Amino acid sequence: MNYQAPRGTFDILPDEIHKWYYLEEIIRKNAILFNYKEIRFPIFERLELFQRGVGESTDIVEKEMYIFKDKKGRTFALRPEGTASIARAYIEHNITSSQKNPLRLFYLGPMFRYSRPQKGRYRQFYQFGLEYIGNPQPIADAEIIALGMKIYQDAKVPEIKLEINSVGCPICRKEYNTTLKNFLLLNKEKYCSDCQRRMEVNPLRVFDCKNETCQNLLKNAPRMIDNLCSACDNHFKEVLDLLKKMNVDYNVNPNIVRGLDYYTRTAFEYKINYLGAQDEIGGGGRYDNLIEYLGGKPTPAVGLSGGLERVLLSLDKSKVHIPKEDSLDVFIIPLDSEFLTQSIHLQQELHQKNISVIIADTQTSLKNNLKYCDKNKVKFAIIIGEDEMKSGEFVVKDIREKSQKKIIISEICGYIFSNLKLM
């Protein structure tokens, strides 16, 4: 039987991992600059957390979750997103009692959704997220949005655009849902079956539909942005004003509602126009009621998330050069197995100076070991043979300069260390 990775998953091979390191380092660096602290939460949670937190009428909960029972019959789900888990951890550990609000958190890790695999969209995918908890003011929305844009720009994602909207609050959304539902019912039979059901349960979710017919029918739908209460309208205007002051360009798109029920007020997406249907590479919004809804105290919050695969796909398509990690510093070549002990001692000494070192296979010829150095861009090779042991001097070859010297054993570490600093 030939085993393969499950459909919708993939292996990140050694030749590609440097791209992931590159992007993850940019995310971590920028998060830390803004004082966001990393949080790591479980791969799976109780199913009810996502049903209640994400929303039972969302595509994620209705169609896309990996659900399983444990040996005691309890129902769990692999995490499809990060914010619900953040809210659960915030409540469970009473984080506010030990840390001053507002709280800034970030995360990196795999998420799972059962959807049709396609380029840039997988069943196991990697996501980063930023969460700003405890600040109801528009400056929190603007900070998150600007930080997300900075991450994408630092990663050199070309032609990235920000689209933004307001989905209001429960007060103004209640009236808007009635207005929207009345509009949808006028042509109910023309919508797909999913939309027909959603217009009864949660009319706003109709905007999530990717069906072209449904999208055309929605072109003249009433807009949430035109039905905001005065508080939501003022909040949105101030967010836009702050983004201008931060030199963050944006387009207001009234059709952005995001795919999760917990959003209130600000909703936004980062988009590119050269990956076909997979044009969204990140997004987020404010979720002021989620923590209270899950059993915590009323706590305002805003956050964003982004998929790493789509970012890397955009960089590949745009031919952005991502440098590989540093090559091996030193390759020790013992000419016979009797010189392994000395090779190991030298390797340990070099490792103590944070110099990367491996020892060659003694069954491989000197010629082939030196070919390995050339092919893999090793910086130095140290040759240990009978003559070297007798003289107390090892041959140190500078692979890049194609030169070599005999160095006293006791001075080799200092010689390598000094020359690496000059490279």
| Whether residues 268 and 336 fall in one domain | no
Least confident of 137-151, 274-288, 321-335, 391-405: 274-288
Residue 72 burial (CB count, 10 A): 5
| Domain end point (choices 290, 317, 344) | 317
Q: Walk across the sheet containing 380-384 and list its strands.
A: 357-359, 330-334, 380-384, 393-398, 403-408
Amino acid making up residue 104 = R
Pairing of strands 251-252, 75-78: unpaired
Per-residue pLDDT at 105: 96
| Secondary structure string (H, E, C) spanning 64-98 | HCCEEECCCCCEEEECCCCHHHHHHHHHHCCHHHC
The pair of structure tokens assigned to 401 is 């300069």
| Whether residues 234 and 353 fall in one domain | no
**What's the chain's length in residues?**
423
| 183 assigned to some structural domain | no
The pair of structure tokens assigned to 27 is 């995310």
| 134 assigned to some structural domain | yes
According to DSSP, the residues that pair with 382 across neighbouring strands are: 332, 396
pLDDT digits (tens, 9 = 90+) for 284-298: 999 998 999 899 999
Q: Walk across the sheet containing 103-112 and list its strands.
A: 37-38, 103-112, 124-133, 301-307, 280-286, 264-271, 161-166, 251-252
Does the pLDDT value for residue 133 go beyond 60? yes
- Name the nearest CA neighbour of 247 among 153, 128, 132, 135: 153
d(CA 265, CA 165): 8
| Whether residues 151 and 58 fall in one domain | yes
| 158 assigned to some structural domain | yes
According to DSSP, the residues that pair with 302 across neighbouring strands are: 132, 286
d(CA 314, CA 129): 19
pLDDT digits (tens, 9 = 90+) for 359-377: 999 899 999 999 999 998 8
| 118: confidence class by pLDDT, cuts 50, 70, 90 | confident
Residue ranges making up the domain that contains 236? 17-169+229-317
Let me know: does 301 contact 286? Beta carbons within 8 Å: yes
Angle, alpha carbons 223-229-233 (nearest 5°): 75
DSSP designation for 407:
E
| Domain end point (choices 283, 317, 351) | 317
Does the pLDDT value for residue 86 go beyond 90? yes
Q: What is the mean pLDDT of the chain?
A: 89
| Whether residues 309 and 369 fall in one domain | no
Per-residue pLDDT at 215: 85
Per-residue pLDDT at 276: 66
Residue 278 burial (CB count, 10 A): 17
d(CA 236, CA 354): 51
| Whether residues 135 and 61 fall in one domain | yes
Sequential DSSP letters for 195-241: HHHHHHH-GGGGGG---HHHHHHGGGS--GGGS--HHHHHHHHHHHH
d(CA 128, CA 281): 11
| 87 assigned to some structural domain | yes
- Residue 150 vs residues 132, 140, 251, 362: alpha-carbon distances, Å: 16, 15, 17, 50
- Interval 42-60 mean pLDDT: 82
Amino acid making up residue 392 = G
| Whether residues 307 and 386 fall in one domain | no
| Whether residues 111 and 160 fall in one domain | yes
| 57: confidence class by pLDDT, cuts 50, 70, 90 | low
| Whether residues 308 and 350 fall in one domain | no
| Whether residues 80 and 161 fall in one domain | yes
| 279 assigned to some structural domain | yes
Let me know: does 267 contact 165? Beta carbons within 8 Å: yes
Does the pLDDT value for residue 56 go beyond 70? no
Let me know: does 281 contact 310? Beta carbons within 8 Å: yes
According to DSSP, the residues that pair with 56 across neighbouring strands are: none
| Whether residues 246 and 384 fall in one domain | no
| Domain end point (choices 317, 343, 376) | 317
DSSP designation for 374:
H
- Name the nearest CA neighbour of 110 among 128, 92, 91: 128
- Interval 10-26 mean pLDDT: 93
- Interval 40-49 mean pLDDT: 94
Amino acid making up residue 123 = R
d(CA 402, CA 206): 66
| Whether residues 106 and 238 fall in one domain | yes
Angle, alpha carbons 261-264-265 (nearest 5°): 145
| Residue 293: CATH number of its domain | 3.30.930.10
- Name the nearest CA neighbour of 385 among 348, 332, 331, 344: 332
| 250 assigned to some structural domain | yes
Per-residue pLDDT at 95: 82
For the chain, the domain total comes to: 2
Least confident of 233-242, 273-282, 289-298, 409-418: 273-282
Per-residue pLDDT at 279: 80
Per-residue pLDDT at 420: 84
Let me know: does 263 contact 167? Beta carbons within 8 Å: yes
pLDDT digits (tens, 9 = 90+) for 176-219: 888 888 898 988 888 998 888 888 878 877 887 878 888 888 88
The pair of structure tokens assigned to 403 is 């030169």
| Whether residues 292 and 233 fall in one domain | yes
| 218 assigned to some structural domain | no
Residue with tokens 């000395």: 342
Let me know: does 134 contact 103? Beta carbons within 8 Å: yes
Does the pLDDT value for residue 259 go beyond 60? no
The pair of structure tokens assigned to 73 is 């019959």
| Residue 407: CATH number of its domain | 3.40.50.800
Does the pLDDT value for residue 247 go beyond 90? yes
| Secondary structure string (H, E, C) spanning 3-67 | CCCCCCCCCCCCCCHHHHHHHHHHHHHHHHHCCCEECCCCCEEEHHHHHHHCCCCCHHHHHHCCE
Per-residue pLDDT at 257: 75
Pairing of strands 301-307, 280-286: antiparallel
| 204 assigned to some structural domain | no
- Interval 125-138 mean pLDDT: 95
